């Protein structure tokens, strides 16, 4: 039990800016094991984002409340995944070989491709989430909470599937700022899927059609993995961040499309 608690706090420290006990560090062994809790971190980020939205909605209109919730998500993660998205667009937009792509992605500076991708992604996330929450007529806050938790947890599950099915790309096994999970066992896979899919089961109690969100997520995972393997023979931490961010958008837009049939 003590080891599992330490693994959880390792995940919390690695993927968020939430304070953790002083004895928690970036041990590669624990970071690999922390993979099982990656979608659970989505529960935490999603729940806090929902709480900010819910409280702000008492004072402001839905667009402003959504804006505050997105700010909360960025602050909680330290823009960890957004940074990965920008690096991926810079790398693949400006590089034509594996070496050049990885070199650009490792550069801490942001380029035009990265900046434009962030503007489009955050804008799409904001508009989609605002439209979705405005269309939900029920006053049940549990449904709203599950929407937030699901798009965060499913995004992290989709991203971590890249780790489960691909190899790490950098030959020196280095990353830009932090170590990254590169190994896994059945415990990591079982834990990730449990925490990734449990909120979706809860959402399906409101309407089973929410289950269809799995289809576009699989397509995104399949083509992302194929694209990364083609160009850099695997993945990097930035690739996972990019997939996580794109999946958040896909989740929100899929929920919005499905709502027309509910």
With contact defined as beta carbons under 8 Å apart, do 157 and 250 qualify?
no
How is the chain split into domains, by residue range? 2-10+28-257
- Residue 175 has what pLDDT? 47
Judge whether residue 20 has pLDDT over 50. yes
Looking at residue 180, what is its pLDDT?
59
Binning pLDDT at 50, 70 and 90, where does residue 40 land?
Answer: very high
pLDDT tens readout for residues 75-107:
999 999 999 999 999 999 998 899 999 999 988
Tokens (6 digits) for 6 = 């330490």
The total number of residues shown for the chain amounts to: 262
DSSP 8-state class, residue 168: B
Which SS3 state, helix, strand or coil, does residue 235 take? strand
229 neighbors 102 (Cβ within 8 angstroms): no
- For the stretch 142-183, pLDDT in tens is 999 999 999 999 999 999 999 999 988 876 544 444 455 566
Average pLDDT of 120-136?
A: 95
The reply to whether the predicted model has a pTM over 0.75 is yes
Q: What are the tokens at 176?
A: 């830009």
Decide if 190 contacts 160 (C-beta within 8 A). no
pLDDT > 90: what percent of the chain? 76
Question: Is there a contact between 55 and 81 (Cβ–Cβ < 8 Å)?
Answer: no
d(CA 1, CA 23): 16
């Amino acid at each position: 039990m003590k080891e599992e608690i330490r693994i959880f706090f390792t995940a919390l420290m690695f993927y968020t800016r939430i304070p953790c006990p002083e004895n928690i560090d970036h041990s590669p062994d624990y970071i690999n094991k922390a993979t099982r809790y990656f979608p659970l971190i989505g529960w935490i980020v999603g729940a806090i984002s929902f709480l900010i939205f819910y409280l702000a909605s008492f004072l402001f209109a839905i667009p402003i409340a959504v804006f505050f919730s997105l700010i909360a998500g960025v602050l909680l993660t330290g823009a960890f995944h957004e940074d990965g998205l920008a690096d991926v667009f810079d790398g693949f937009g400006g590089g034509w070989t594996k070496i050049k792509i990885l070199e650009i992605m490792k550069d801490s500076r942001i380029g035009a491709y990265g900046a434009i991708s962030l503007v489009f992604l955050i804008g799409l996330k904001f508009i989609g989430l605002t439209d979705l929450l405005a269309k939900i007529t029920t006053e049940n806050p549990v449904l709203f909470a599950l929407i937030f938790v699901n798009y965060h947890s499913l995004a992290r599950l989709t991203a971590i599937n890249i780790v489960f099915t691909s190899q790490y790309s950098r030959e020196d096994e280095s990353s830009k700022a932090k170590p990254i999970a590169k190994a896994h066992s059945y415990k990591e896979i079982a834990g990730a899927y449990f925490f990734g899919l449990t909120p979706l089961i809860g959402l399906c109690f409101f309407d089973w059609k929410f289950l269809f969100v799995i289809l576009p997520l699989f397509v995104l995972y399949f083509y992302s993995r194929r694209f990364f393997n083609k160009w850099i023979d695997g993945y990097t931490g930035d690739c996972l961040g990019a997939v996580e961010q794109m999946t958040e958008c896909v989740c929100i837009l899929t929920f919005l499309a499905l709502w027309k049939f509910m």
